[in-house]
Structure 1
């Protein structure tokens, strides 16, 4: 059995292509089932987000599995297989485990160390599990990966430092005020950066938010989408008198917030501090604002400096997490190798206990006068003999699991003890054979 991961991501395809190769949320379950019924696939999980679509699969043959997964994606999104090949990365075996660990811990994301992917991958695994498209390997591996990512996030600062301008803007406000729960925020502009700033404010528990834009309808639509308030741009000066935080990102050719506007609100203003964050180019807020003593004015260059410093911190944390992944790969391989050994050990124990049981039956026939206590003593000692005899063979079987020729040696082991152990994937193999027979009857 082989582990393969096929990925369409920000390195292999631009956003226009990624949008075309993304499963809608309500289609993931059916897609998992469709893929599972494909030739060569024994287990599968499909992950599809705004930045990546990935298929993780256990396959009976690498080349066959890769082809049928790429064919599945091509059919799902109306591409030729060759087109899908040009926009996918293929990871196999240890490289696939490494890829999964990097993805789930945020090391492979556009925003290094982002934590949202952990929840997305966990949900993808649960959906696949509910549709019975996961089995022995993935039920263990994905839980291992999720646990690894949680521990990595808890033990490093990888997600604690802002590495996007909109996020950094909110982090700067936190440095001034601490908690932002009861603060009033104004967002000037209704474009993508403004929406990202809005989402970060909401994420920081700011509920009193008003959006301003020269085209009032755009402000209204954005406000309704996120259930906050909007107001005409002409009311901005009045709202400044009670605001704590202002984030501005417009395409205006002149200053939106000026010294004169702040001078007008100096007397009626009630808030102690006012944080002005200008993420527009050209700038929306007049430089060197001096009207109020407690005004903190930041522009894009200030934010970029913070982002660059934080990115360096995240990279250090990412490097520390990456150093842990080889051990996770080793742990996974050790566990997989033990899968083949466990049935052998079980078969050996069962044979030994059958011999012990038959021996006790013979003793009962030849020594019918034994008391119940005497019989228990004999049974206990015969079992003790068996356990001592099995100790070294079982130890040897476990050591065989890490050998490069483990399959050959386990087969010899079974021949020596005259036992038969069913491979843990025997049921999946039978399913695969049934699928292949069904497919060939139609092709």
Structure 2
């Protein structure tokens, strides 16, 4: 597999650009299918979170793959290609694997150590499987990335240092409005991020939790698990007037909470303390003009990106020792994955070689039967077993050793040497390599919170 990663994230693009590039509605599915249908691409997967959009593809041509995927990302995100290109990053082969494993471990997250990314990667793999754009290569790659992420969190303390984006956002809100405990909170939305926010608020000790969502039934299901109250979406304005804190993440394509609406809610509040507003949506739910309103403390993804960068630079979220330990895990896992992939790549050649040897043995035994028809059946069977045993022993050490050598850098040349030395039919090798496989059922999804990546 020749893995190519092309994307943009909070590390390379301003939040405003990420907001404009956000994939809404059925755009992720359409982009995924378009990427998989591109000429240089064999398989494709898409990781789209609050703070990153990444295409993973198995390509047969590097430059053509980069060009085609860049154009497709621009078309489906609606951002001009020239502007988009200035913020794109590209990783290839081992560097691409290293990047995905680092993402899985939370090393590339806005808040370093963020553990929610594992849920996002499960979603990405599940979507690619559901849309039939992921085959053997990407399935194995993402499954391994999930295992590496779990290993990093179980063997180091990076998960204790790494907060969820929701928790980090609520800390920033508390800096301007006071502790969350004892407050009345309104959550707008009932998706995965909003669900995480509601659960986090409940654990933080809010005295009242209210849920509002366009789909009322979904809001009621979420509220039932948390003992919250539900209001209809058209009642959000009046609910804000009664709240101390508002968290919004609806996934809508436009502004959900306008400046005038929030100004009216502030005017109707009896409390003299500021109204905390946490906007975790991309594109944003809350009008940026709210930042200038008196009596409102707004925290959005742009604010969080700046705070997270400052915290990460000072080592405030993940200790340097934990980060270094995770980086060593990633490096070792990338080496192991590469070795396994190189060793696996020679398997079709080895299988084809053994199949050819078996055919030669069978042909010669048939020839012997024709020349010695009077041969005793027991002697014939013993002779056939002896011949097959001799061939197996002759092939055993070379094929085992060639698999070991193939796992080393540059090991692909050993498969070519075998094909040349034994004059193997390329079609026979390709038939083994292209044999159909059964992928596992779509992975179970878990509630995943914010930027995970």
1:391 is matched with which residue? 396
| Structure 1 vs Structure 2 CA RMSD | 4.3
1:272 is matched with which residue? none
Paired with 1:312 and 1:163, the residues of 2 have a C-alpha distance of: 8
| Greater displacement, 23-32 / 340-349 | 23-32
2:64 is matched with which residue? 64
Paired with 1:360 and 1:148, the residues of 2 have a C-alpha distance of: 50
Q: Give the secondary structure class of the aligned counterpart of 2:47.
A: strand
**Residues 161 and 310 of structure 1 are in contact (CA less than 8 Å); yes or no, is this contact kept in structure 2?**
no
**Residues 6 and 91 of structure 1 are in contact (CA less than 8 Å); yes or no, is this contact kept in structure 2?**
yes
Q: Give the secondary structure class of the aligned counterpart of 1:11.
A: coil
Per-residue displacement from partner, 1:12-61 (whole Å, max 9, x unpaired)? 12222112212226432232111111121121111111111101111112
Equivalent residues, number: 350
1:417 is matched with which residue? 422
1:179 is matched with which residue? none
In structure 2, the CA distance between the partners of 1:89 and 1:340, relative to structure 1 (3 Å rule), is same
Paired with 2:417 and 2:168, the residues of 1 have a C-alpha distance of: 62
Unpaired runs of 5+ residues, structure 1, are 172-183, 213-218, 237-249, 258-281, 285-303, 429-443
1:95 is matched with which residue? 95
| Greater displacement, 337-346 / 3-12 | 337-346
**Residues 347 and 421 of structure 1 are in contact (CA less than 8 Å); yes or no, is this contact kept in structure 2?**
no
Paired with 2:69 and 2:243, the residues of 1 have a C-alpha distance of: 56
Shift of 1:117: 1.3
Unpaired runs of 5+ residues, structure 2, are 172-179, 231-238, 245-265, 275-294, 298-307, 435-453
1:12 is matched with which residue? 12
2:135 is matched with which residue? 135
In structure 2, the CA distance between the partners of 1:427 and 1:17, relative to structure 1 (3 Å rule), is farther
Shift of 1:255: 7.2
**Residues 32 and 46 of structure 2 are in contact (CA less than 8 Å); yes or no, is this contact kept in structure 1?**
yes
Paired with 2:348 and 2:195, the residues of 1 have a C-alpha distance of: 56
TM-score using structure 1 length: 0.66
1:187 is matched with which residue? 183
**Residues 341 and 407 of structure 2 are in contact (CA less than 8 Å); yes or no, is this contact kept in structure 1?**
no
Shift of 1:85: 0.7
**Residues 7 and 89 of structure 2 are in contact (CA less than 8 Å); yes or no, is this contact kept in structure 1?**
yes
Verify: 1:160 aligned to 2:160, yes or no. yes
1:81-92 equivalences in 2 (<5 Å): 81-92=81-92
Higher relative contact order (CA 8 A, sep 6+): 2
Paired with 1:200 and 1:38, the residues of 2 have a C-alpha distance of: 38
Shift of 1:332: 2.2
Paired with 2:186 and 2:243, the residues of 1 have a C-alpha distance of: 16
Shift of 1:199: 4.9
1:202 is matched with which residue? 199
Paired with 1:132 and 1:221, the residues of 2 have a C-alpha distance of: 35
**Residues 18 and 52 of structure 2 are in contact (CA less than 8 Å); yes or no, is this contact kept in structure 1?**
yes
Verify: 1:107 aligned to 2:103, yes or no. no
Paired with 2:421 and 2:211, the residues of 1 have a C-alpha distance of: 79
Shift of 1:125: 1.3
1:29 is matched with which residue? 29
**Residues 210 and 229 of structure 1 are in contact (CA less than 8 Å); yes or no, is this contact kept in structure 2?**
no
